[in-house]
């Protein structure tokens, strides 16, 4: 199953918006969702403070600052096809590619 991680922190309205998009898309494209509070890890805080929310999909950075719902669906749809034996096209990469 695909794993999506959102890096953010408490009180971040952009993080809340990104989380809402992820939950909405998750209803159609199931994935494991993990949330990481960057304030609990100094390394994460340094890496992501000016960029949150940052969203990774299976360990690959896909979005920062906001989540494009349409692009997320394309990315996840490609992974579902890939799992069924079809190869995902590189043009389906996330917003940071």
More confident residue, 38 or 95: 38
The whole-number pLDDT of residue 94 equals 41
What residues does 57 pair with on adjacent strands? 4, 60
pLDDT given for residue 84 in this prediction: 52
Residue pLDDT, tens place only, 23-36: 999 999 999 999 99
Mean pLDDT of 64-77: 95
Report yes or no: 15 and 63 within 8 Å, Cβ to Cβ: no
pLDDT bin (cut points 50, 70, 90) of residue 86 is very low
Maximum distance among all Cα pairs of the chain, rounded to whole angstroms: 41
Q: 3-92: which CATH architecture? A: 3-Layer(aba) Sandwich (3.40)
């Amino acid at each position: 199953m695909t794993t999506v991680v959102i890096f953010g922190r408490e009180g971040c309205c952009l993080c809340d918006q990104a989380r809402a998009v992820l939950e909405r898309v998750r209803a159609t494209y199931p994935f494991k969702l993990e949330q990481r509070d960057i304030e609990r890890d100094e390394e994460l805080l340094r890496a992501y403070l000016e960029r949150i929310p940052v969203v990774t999909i299976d360990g690959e950075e896909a979005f920062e600052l906001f989540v494009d719902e349409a692009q997320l669906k394309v990315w996840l749809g490609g992974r579902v096809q890939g799992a069924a034996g079809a190869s995902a096209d590189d043009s389906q990469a996330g917003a940071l590619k």
